Structure 1
Amino acid sequence: MNVLKTLSLVALAGLSGLGYAAAQEPQRVIAHPGVNNARPADARSLKWKVAVGRFSNETQYGKGIFYERDNDPMAKQALDILMTKLNASGKFILLERSDSEKLEAELKAGQGQRIGADYLILGSITEFGRKTTGRDGLFTSEKSQTVEAGVSIRIVDVATGQVIYSEEGKGQAQTTSKSTLGLGGKAGYDATLSDKAISGAIDQLVENIINKCTDKPWRTYLINADADGIIIAGGAAQGIRPGDTFTLYKRGKQVKNPQTGVSFYLAGKPVAQLRVESVDGDTPDTQYAIVSVVSGSFDKGALDNYYVQQ
C-alpha cells in the first residue's frame, strides 16, 4: 500500500513539473480572424525615383556575326529581373532609361536633374558560362547542366554624380537527370537555367541596392513659384498627399575636396515650412504638388538654390 502511495505521489509530482515547464515555454500569439497583423493601411513612406539604365553584356556569350549591342537578349533579361525585384519592394518609382552613356555624360556635365530621378542604376553581365557534365556507371548514367553568371551594379547619386555603391554578385543554377539501365529522365537544353543564374546573382545585390537608395532623407525640388502658385516635383505616385508638410532648405556652399578633386555641397540650411494643398499630374514623370508656405520665406527668383526634404 505504501509503495502504491509513493508511486502516486511521484506521478503527481512529475505531472506538476510538466505543467510548470509548459508554463515557462514562450507562448505563440495567434491573431484573431478579424485582426490584421500587417502594417496599417495608412502607414506609408515616400518613394524614391530610380532610373535604371540599359544593362550591357560584357561577356562573349551569344555574340555572333549579327550581334546587336542595343538588342542583347541577355542584357534585357537582366534588366527585367532587376526591375521586377526592385518594384516588388514597393519603395521606388522605376524609370527605364536605355541610353546609359548619354545619362553618364549628363551627370559628368553637372546636368543630373535632367535625368528626373534620385538615383541612376547601371549594370552589366560580367560573367556567363554554361557547361554540361556527365558520369556513366555500369548500370546508371548521370548528366548535369550548370550555368554560372556574374552581374555588376553601380548606383549613381544623381544630385552629386558620385557612385555610392558598386558590387558584383554571382549566381549558379543546375539541373541533373539520371537513368538506370536506360530508364529514367533525359534532360535536354534547359533555357530557364540562364534566368535562374542571373536572378541568383541579382538576388545578392538587391538588398544592398534598396538600403543604399533609401538611407538618406527623401528629397524633391521646386519647379515653380509665381502667381500660379508654388509647385514642387512629385505627386501621388511618390506617396505625397494633401496635408503633408516638408522643410525647404537652402543649398549649402559648393566646395571642392583638394584630396579627391570631388565637388560637393555643404549641408543645407532650413528656411521655410511647406504644406501640400493638392497634387496633380498623369504620370510619375509629370506629377507635381501645389504647396503653401506655412512659415519662413525664400527667394522665388532663385529656385535652383533650394531643395525640399522630408
Structure 2
Amino acid sequence: MMKSLLSVRVLALLLAVTTALSAQAQRKARIAVMDFDYATVQSYSSAMFGSNIDVGKGVTDLLIAGLVKNGTYSIIERSALDKIMAEQNFNNSQRADPSSAAKLGKLLGVDAIIVGSVTQFGNETKKTNVGGGGGGWHGYGLGGVGHSKSNANVGLTARIVNVETGEILAIAEGAGTSARSSTSLLGGGGNWSGWGNGAVDFGSSNFQETIIGEATKQAVDTLTASVVSDAPKVAIHKVTVDGLVAAVDGGQIVLNVGKKGGVNVGDQLEVIRVTKEIKDPETGAVIRRLTSTVGVIRATDVDDASAVCSPVSGTGFQTGDRVRSMAQ
C-alpha cells in the first residue's frame, strides 16, 4: 500500500515538473505596439498643454512598460518598429488602421500588433466650451477647467491584430478617473514642471501626480490587464531558423540568414559547432554529426538575406558555426 502511494506521488511530481518545463519552453507571443491615435482628443489636449503634445505616444509608452513588467508577451523594440515605419513611409494618420499595422507587423515577424486610440482625455465636461489648440481650457488659461473643481477622465481602446490575416483578435478597453478633483487638470501634484520639445514624459512621477496623470495611469493599467487577459487569443507562429555564421567581426556575428529565413530583430539563436562526423562504414555517407554548444546570440539588425547579432552567452564564435532556433 505504501509503495503504491509512493509511486502515485512520484508520478504526480514528474507530471508537474514536465508540465512546468513545457510551459517554460513555450515561446511567448511576440507583439508590437503602435503609437495610439489621439486625433479625437487633440484639440482638448492642445488646450490643456498649450501645444500639440503627442498623448498617443505617451499612452503607448506606459502600455509597453506595463506589458514588459508583466512578462506575458515578448515586446518588439521600439527602434525596430520605427525603422520599419520609416522604410514603409508610414504616417501618423495610419496609426489606428489595422490593415496597415498588420503589414508592418508581418515585416517585423511578430505574432500580433496592437493599434489603439485615445477616446477621452480631459474632464467630465470636456465636450463643451473647450478652446482650440493652444488656447485656454474653458477660457481659464493653460490646464484650467474653470473656477469649480473637476475630476480628470481618460478613455482608451485597443485592438489586437493578427498580422497574417489582418483579423482583429480582441478588443481591449481602459478607463480612468482621478480620485481627486482640481481647478486645473495639470494640478494636484506638488512638482509639475511642465514639458519640453513638444513631449510629456507620462511615466514621470511629476506628471502622474497631476489629476490627468492619475487618470491616465489608471486607464493604462486597466487596458494592460485587458490586453494580458487576451494573450491566449494570439497564435504563436513557429519558425525554425537554420543557418551559418558567415563572419565574426569584433563583437558582431554576421549570419547567412535573415528575414526570409525567419530571423527577426530580438530573436535569440543557439550557436553550435560540429565536433565530429560519424560516417556509415559501408557507404561512407555521414549519418550523424556530433555537436557542442558554443553559445547564444541575439539578432540586432536584420535584412532579407543576413542578420547581425551580438553575443548573449558563450565566446569563441567562428565562421562556419551552425545557427538554429532555440529549443522550443
State TM-score, norm by structure 2: 0.47
Query: Which structure: greater strand fraction?
Result: 1
Normalised to the residue count of structure 1, the TM-score between the two structures is 0.50
- Higher relative contact order (CA closer than 8 Å, sequence separation 6+): 2
Normalized per residue, the structure richer in helix is 2
